[in-house]
Structure 1
């Protein structure tokens, strides 16, 4: 009796068994799906071979089963659930492998400063700079304005003048951005091609133009956007009070403190009412409504410019007209038209004076001579003396030695007194030449302002000194002459007080009192 060949399908174990095959190297899909089920688990009734768990044990592990032959799929037949699951897992594995391969590109190269830029960076840099070069930006010759879009307000840009039309000056802010500024901001209108330092203050959407302001330029309107610190405005004074001047700049209210109205103290501020003053903005706060101006700042700028110009023209020895501005104990300040000079008290007159107010008054117009100039400090020394009228010129011929003069005593000193001989000329009488007898104090013999006679003993024109003697004009006393009326007059001086005061009372000590040695066993 022949036995039919056994097929894989007919060689199934009699009971359903579950075995865990050995996991192949490298993992594989079988390791992900878990253990492999061996035998049939459904479809056969319980108790039959291969159906259920009756009468069966676990199958001995003999390795993985050979793949089950697949029946060719018919046309139009849908995939089974296992096939769809296998295809999805295969696609996921392929994507993961592709990502692993993409991450193995090698090390990233270190950037080189000297190496050329990439094409993307070159294009981005060229778009940002526009027509400018990197050398111009590094050297600070110009500030690149954005080539597209609006320029932010309060941005300072170096703009080139491209057109002057009527009352407007059009400038280029870089790229397609253009700005406009009023020609009244300039004392001299700029020419096409000039470079200006401007500040963007706003944007006019209708004309597609930026509104700009020139640094230090004059603000014409009263818009707060143009009122920035440092700008020059024209203010109209409306009222005055003890603190300063109230004024308006266009439609904005402003205030000028009293100390900022003029270079010097102003007594009556009401004189400025209804006047138009050019001022500089020192504080502008639109939120608080504070607008503070200074006219003194403008005057100081003008004075500084005039001072530089005048210092270049002045030379020692020139005669100039000026106005006395202020008088001090040591001299007077004179305004020469933009610069002040000092007349020292010693340069006001050839004669000796005690205070400058004896000769000059504030506001007086005088003619002075430039004595010296210090260009480093800007100080100018002036003089009222005329060198051609020097009183010591020819003094030896005018007052020869031996001449008797008469004049008032101008000063007293511990060593003598000074006598005025002529305007600007004084002689000194030494204390030993006041009288024939010994003189202890000058004020005991002469008083300031007293008229005296003196004899010229010596004349030194170079040192401007003249020695006088009063006792040379008085007859000396005669010792043997008995007639008192013919004797020389003697100067009577008050009795000098003794240096050591006279002691009053009994003197201590003597020989009639004990010495005190007996207290110590001494018998003296």
Structure 2
């Protein structure tokens, strides 16, 4: 009666059933489970322990652990039968249900990075999830292995249960975080403040500088006090620079910056180099009908009024000067407040004669040419009664 009763109590197990058992032993290539009420023990091949790659079964299970798994095959032998089980399939099935719900609701999930492989990262989301390199970060990643062991917040990019395909996205999370940080940073920026930044990239019209979660444009005209034709003449990517915040437009996420406004202007330090009365060399930068503008140092241009160009009378500065010409000038006046310098070219040249005496050299005086008293006094004598 006892044997008949025990046989009737044996649990009927079929392929596809979900069973629960206790880890009895851990072998090199598989794990043995004792299934309560079952005819045979269950065997989970190491490849079916997890959706992730497992080198050593002891890394994921230990003796005494209670495990659920699907029955994938029944090897029915009188003396040595057993059930082939897959914990992996059960995990994947349950995980797909959870992931499908999160995917449909647009929810995020957290997962630990288990491995860095060619082309991206492998994460554990109850099954093997993959983050392609292009979806890891908004920044360039040189070494993917730095992410191993980190827990990342992710969004599901693609989900296909038939192909056992789970594609995840961390870049979109990073982008949302960056946008929030940028918005907060923009609100806290103060126009007129001087901050440090790093040159990110350059264009033909200026340079974009990162000032911490925000980048702003330094127009080419705001790079230096000197005139430059190309941004590359003054800056390189990676340069650390001080910039002054000229304007902030939070709505359009635009920030205008100036490097030259954060530097001492040439007029601020002019006293260290020049004083009234100095004679210096300069370059004619441009001409106007009222005079010539001459640069005596970087960022320092002064006006030579037309009356100060030559001792001779001239109708237009272009009669004696041209752009690019080197000239000596005397500093007549420095007005730091109005950023003006008065210069003179003629003050550096000696005037040999006060008036034109050339006509004298062409005359020979004779008695006949000498003026008479009549020439000098004319009609003055006719009124006299001599």
Alpha-carbon offset, residue 339 of structure 1: 1.9
Go from structure 1 to structure 2 and tell me whether the alpha carbon gap of 1:336 and 1:394 turns closer, same or farther (over 3 Å shift): closer
Given candidates 279, 295, 303, the residue that maps to 2:178 is 303
Q: Provide the aligned length of Structure 1 versus Structure 2.
A: 258
> In the alignment, what sits opposite 1:238?
116
Alpha-carbon offset, residue 273 of structure 1: 6.9
Answer yes or no: is the 8 Å Cα contact 2:286–2:294 preserved in 1. Answer: no
Q: Does 1:224 align with 2:99?
A: no
Helix, strand or coil for the counterpart of 2:252? coil
Helix, strand or coil for the counterpart of 2:204? coil
Go from structure 1 to structure 2 and tell me whether the alpha carbon gap of 1:288 and 1:406 turns closer, same or farther (over 3 Å shift): same
The structure with the greater share of residues assigned to helix is 2
Given candidates 244, 254, 260, the residue that maps to 2:130 is 254
Answer yes or no: is the 8 Å Cα contact 1:412–1:442 preserved in 2. Answer: no
**Hey, what's the Cα distance between the residues in 1 that align with 2:308 and 2:112?**
73
Alpha-carbon offset, residue 446 of structure 1: 5.4
Go from structure 1 to structure 2 and tell me whether the alpha carbon gap of 1:235 and 1:400 turns closer, same or farther (over 3 Å shift): same
TM-score in terms of structure 1 length: 0.39
Helix, strand or coil for the counterpart of 1:350? coil
Alpha-carbon offset, residue 248 of structure 1: 3.6
Alpha-carbon offset, residue 419 of structure 1: 3.3
**Hey, what's the Cα distance between the residues in 2 that align with 1:278 and 1:356?**
40
Answer yes or no: is the 8 Å Cα contact 1:334–1:340 preserved in 2. Answer: yes
**Hey, what's the Cα distance between the residues in 2 that align with 1:458 and 1:262?**
59
Given candidates 391, 411, 430, the residue that maps to 2:266 is 391
Go from structure 1 to structure 2 and tell me whether the alpha carbon gap of 1:298 and 1:365 turns closer, same or farther (over 3 Å shift): farther
Given candidates 189, 193, 218, the residue that maps to 1:318 is 193
- Give ranges in structure 2 of 5+ residues lacking alignment: 1-92, 360-386
> In the alignment, what sits opposite 2:246?
371
Go from structure 1 to structure 2 and tell me whether the alpha carbon gap of 1:307 and 1:430 turns closer, same or farther (over 3 Å shift): same
Q: Residues 347-362 of structure 1: matches in 2 within 5 Å?
A: 347-362=222-237
**Hey, what's the Cα distance between the residues in 1 that align with 2:313 and 2:132?**
73
Answer yes or no: is the 8 Å Cα contact 2:129–2:168 preserved in 1. Answer: no
Helix, strand or coil for the counterpart of 1:454? strand
**Hey, what's the Cα distance between the residues in 2 that align with 1:405 and 1:232?**
70
Go from structure 1 to structure 2 and tell me whether the alpha carbon gap of 1:268 and 1:397 turns closer, same or farther (over 3 Å shift): closer
Answer yes or no: is the 8 Å Cα contact 2:197–2:211 preserved in 1. Answer: yes
Answer yes or no: is the 8 Å Cα contact 1:240–1:269 preserved in 2. Answer: no
Helix, strand or coil for the counterpart of 2:186? helix
**Hey, what's the Cα distance between the residues in 1 that align with 2:94 and 2:112?**
10
Q: What do residues 322-357 of structure 1 show as CA deviations (whole Å, max 9, x unaligned)?
A: 333222333322223222233333333333333343
Go from structure 1 to structure 2 and tell me whether the alpha carbon gap of 1:367 and 1:458 turns closer, same or farther (over 3 Å shift): closer
**Hey, what's the Cα distance between the residues in 1 that align with 2:137 and 2:230?**
28
Go from structure 1 to structure 2 and tell me whether the alpha carbon gap of 1:413 and 1:231 turns closer, same or farther (over 3 Å shift): farther
Answer yes or no: is the 8 Å Cα contact 1:246–1:255 preserved in 2. Answer: yes
The structure with the greater share of residues assigned to strand is 2
Larger Rg: 1
TM-score in terms of structure 2 length: 0.50
RMSD: 4.7
Q: What do residues 459-491 of structure 1 show as CA deviations (whole Å, max 9, x unaligned)?
A: 665653445454553456976569xxxxxxxxx
**Hey, what's the Cα distance between the residues in 1 that align with 2:317 and 2:143?**
58
Q: What do residues 492-516 of structure 1 show as CA deviations (whole Å, max 9, x unaligned)?
A: xxxxxxxxxxxxxxxxxxxxxxxxx
Go from structure 1 to structure 2 and tell me whether the alpha carbon gap of 1:279 and 1:425 turns closer, same or farther (over 3 Å shift): farther
Helix, strand or coil for the counterpart of 2:213? coil
Q: Residues 84-103 of structure 1: matches in 2 within 5 Å?
A: none
Answer yes or no: is the 8 Å Cα contact 2:242–2:262 preserved in 1. Answer: no
Given candidates 405, 425, 436, the residue that maps to 2:280 is 405
Helix, strand or coil for the counterpart of 1:360? coil
Go from structure 1 to structure 2 and tell me whether the alpha carbon gap of 1:255 and 1:456 turns closer, same or farther (over 3 Å shift): same
Answer yes or no: is the 8 Å Cα contact 1:257–1:294 preserved in 2. Answer: no
Go from structure 1 to structure 2 and tell me whether the alpha carbon gap of 1:246 and 1:467 turns closer, same or farther (over 3 Å shift): same
Q: What do residues 243-283 of structure 1 show as CA deviations (whole Å, max 9, x unaligned)?
A: xx25344323424252x43334x374656674644432233
Helix, strand or coil for the counterpart of 1:338? coil
**Hey, what's the Cα distance between the residues in 2 that align with 1:328 and 1:291?**
40
